[in-house]
Amino acid sequence: MHKLDNIELFKDLNSEELQAISMKCSWKNYSTGEQILEKSSTSRDVFFVVEGNVNIVNFGVSGREVAYASVESGQYFGELSAIDGRPRSANVIANKKCILASLSPESFTELLQSHPEVSLQVLQRLARIIRVNDDRILDLSTLGAVQRVCQELLRMAEPDPVTPNSWLIYPMPTQSTIASRVSTTRETVARVLGQLSNEDLVLKKGKNLYLKDRAGIEEMISNLAASSGNVAR
């Protein structure tokens, strides 16, 4: 049987508790590009990504994809429908081969009630999602496309564990993924990355994007805001 040892939500549980949860789960493999959940479906299970990663996406009236998030190995998704009983709010698609464990809403509710430390982690994750979405709504309302791309890079960047006072994005998402997150085109993302590279503000190495001058990127956003004719596209 597969194990849930790498699921961050369960980091405070002992092996016996993990085994009990594992036995309540349904396990399934998904291929790259396979749809896992469809928006508005009535499935209410919570899914744990044991291996691989998935994309949470929606599609506009024109068919344009809007990416909400990428859920990596060790994380989970689907808790909203398990909590409020409403249909799915987005589509979930496997980004690569995945092994997922799904837990029924009844078992998930029982887990939350019996383990306050797990409930607190779920609440903290929902709070982070709300904050990120608030920021993105503000960006869409007030920033042009170039600024939104820069802002998304700043949002994704984490401190470099090797170099002090340095930031990096790993793994760097595709240009199409970034474009769908900030509601612009892949060409605009490519142009912004090229400009940032030419100005020595970022450096691409393999799957890493290093933010060499975070303050410089922030200044670029401010300068664009101060200029006229900054139209989102």
Single out the residue in 131, 156, 190 at which a domain terminates: 131
For residue 85, the domain's CATH number is: 2.60.120.10
Quick check: is 218 in a domain? yes
| CA 94 to the chain's CA centroid | 13
β-pair type (76-77, 202-205): unpaired
Whether residues 58 and 161 fall in one domain: no
The pLDDT of 35-61, averaged and rounded, is: 93
Single out the residue in 87, 102, 131 at which a domain terminates: 131
Q: For the whole model, what pTM was predicted? A: 0.78
Whether residues 12 and 121 fall in one domain: yes
Whether residues 19 and 126 fall in one domain: yes
The pLDDT of 194-220, averaged and rounded, is: 95
Whether residues 108 and 75 fall in one domain: yes
Whether residues 124 and 13 fall in one domain: yes
Domain holding 48, by residue range, is: 8-131
The pLDDT of 103-112, averaged and rounded, is: 97
Whether residues 124 and 183 fall in one domain: no
Interval 110-134: pLDDT, tens: 999 999 999 999 999 999 999 988 9
Q: What is the pLDDT of residue 228?
A: 45
Single out the residue in 111, 131, 151 at which a domain terminates: 131
* pLDDT exceeds cutoff 90 at 6: yes
Q: What is the pLDDT of residue 210?
A: 96
Interval 170-183: pLDDT, tens: 989 999 989 988 98
Q: What is the DSSP string of the chain?
A: ----TT-GGGTTS-HHHHHHHHHH-EEEEE-TT-EEE-TT-----EEEEEES-EEEEEE-TT--EEEEEEE-TT-EE-HHHHHH-PPPSSEEEESS-EEEEEE-HHHHHHHHHH-HHHHHHHHHHHHHHHHHHHHHHHHHHH--HHHHHHHHHHHH-EE-SSSTT-EEESSPPPHHHHHHHHTS-HHHHHHHHHHHHHTTSEEEETTEEEES-HHHHHHHHHHHHHSS-----
What mean pLDDT, rounded, does the chain reach?
Answer: 92
Distances, alpha carbon 90 to alpha carbons 41, 60, 66, 124, 213, in Å: 9, 11, 10, 21, 35
